[in-house]
Amino acid sequence: MVLRKSGLAAAVLLACSPAAFSDDLNINGFVSVGASVLSNTDVHIGNYDDNASFSNDTIVGLQISKQVNDTTSATAQLVSRGTEDYNTEAAWAYITYAATEDLDVRFGRLRTPFFYYSDFLEVGYAYNWIRPSGEVYRLDTFSSINGVDFTQRFSTGSVDGSVQFYYGRFSDDFTPVDETYNIELRNFTGVVLNLTQGDFGARLSYHQADMYMPELGTKTGALDGLITAATGAGVGDKFVPDGETTSFYEAAVTYDNGDMFFIAEWTALNHETAIFNDDTGYMVSAAKRFDDTTIHLTYSNQSDDLESGTVGQIQKNLEGKESSITLGARFDYDTSTAFKVEAQYQDEDTYLGAPGESGMLYSVAVDLVF
């Protein structure tokens, strides 16, 4: 099934016969249940291994929205993920004020708009894959922030568009390699431009935040090892993240005529601190619909960009480079329900500075919305 982004939120949730318990109170939900197995456990793809797992791609979400008055509404989305032992998290919890017909202001816990699919990243029914490309969609920890955003919609000629600006803060636990640290992102801000013209779409976004990791250097993880090595080499100050800015860039183009769908998305992550490697990722995906069946093929790539000299030699200890090819099929066998199968070839060229291996990830899933 091919869904246009401009109407996707409505198609995924609001149009799925929401339960109404009082005027303007809507309750919608989504469920994804998946199973997967990895052919080679020396390949690192999330928590996947050679035992069939039903938790990595399983997620349940419930969205509640209430129109309080003509200009104000409240929205909450509760999510339970199999990867987190089904602990429930408020992924969204915000108030929307319609300042004008084309300007919305939201306050509260918001989805961080890093990617083309960010607004419905966990609603598997919204896209053809079982999961989006891990080489591009790789900032799971920072998927929600507490703050405010402004979205201005506009039309000019045959082009429809929107500009979104947000500002907020993030604080939570973060496990970059093998140890968990508290991380705080202050002055977390960004701007997103969306454009559509007929069957074509484009998206550009820029995001930045000031990073603080007060526990770094007090533990025994791989990052702490970098601090020790850098200090011994006389470049320890380059690896201190506190107060340094991290920037994230994203661009996407799409084509969707109802039968054919194409998306190319590119991302780049740049750090002022050397404790994390800069990296670049991209994916190219095409899909063809045959009645209720959609066949899709995706190529993705991600590689780290190291600094020069001594700093780069130390960074090489955590260098990563990988690519993947995914072939899959989606069967919309009933209303608001899709069955999916995928085979993903993963080529891990470099993992934590060492030569990697390759393997296959086989997955099946059922996605539904209600």
Q: Does 271 have pLDDT greater than 70?
A: yes
Q: Is residue 51 part of a domain?
A: no
Cα 112 to Cα 140: distance, rounded to the nearest angstrom: 10
Q: Is residue 354 part of a domain?
A: yes
Mean pLDDT to the nearest integer, 79-108: 95
CA angle 265/266/268 to nearest 5° reads 150
Q: Is residue 59 part of a domain?
A: no
How is residue 144 written in tokens? 């929600």
**Total structural domains in the chain?**
1
Q: Is residue 318 part of a domain?
A: yes
169-211 pLDDT per residue, tens: 999 999 999 999 999 999 999 999 999 999 999 999 999 999 9
210-269 pLDDT per residue, tens: 999 999 989 999 999 999 999 999 999 999 999 999 999 999 999 999 999 999 999 999
38-65 pLDDT per residue, tens: 999 999 998 899 998 899 999 999 999 9
- Domain span including residue 118: 100-369
Q: Is residue 36 part of a domain?
A: no
Q: How many CB atoms lie within 10 A of CB 173?
A: 10
Higher pLDDT, 4 or 152: 152
User: What pLDDT score does 140 carry?
Assistant: 87
Contacts of 247 (CB under 8 A, 6+ apart): 206, 207, 208, 269, 270, 271
**pTM for the whole structure:** 0.92
Q: Is residue 29 part of a domain?
A: no
User: What pLDDT score does 24 carry?
Assistant: 80
**CATH code for the domain in which residue 178 is found:** 2.40.160.10
Q: Is residue 178 part of a domain?
A: yes
Q: Does 163 have pLDDT greater than 80?
A: yes
Q: Is residue 302 part of a domain?
A: yes
Cα 281 to Cα 132: distance, rounded to the nearest angstrom: 13
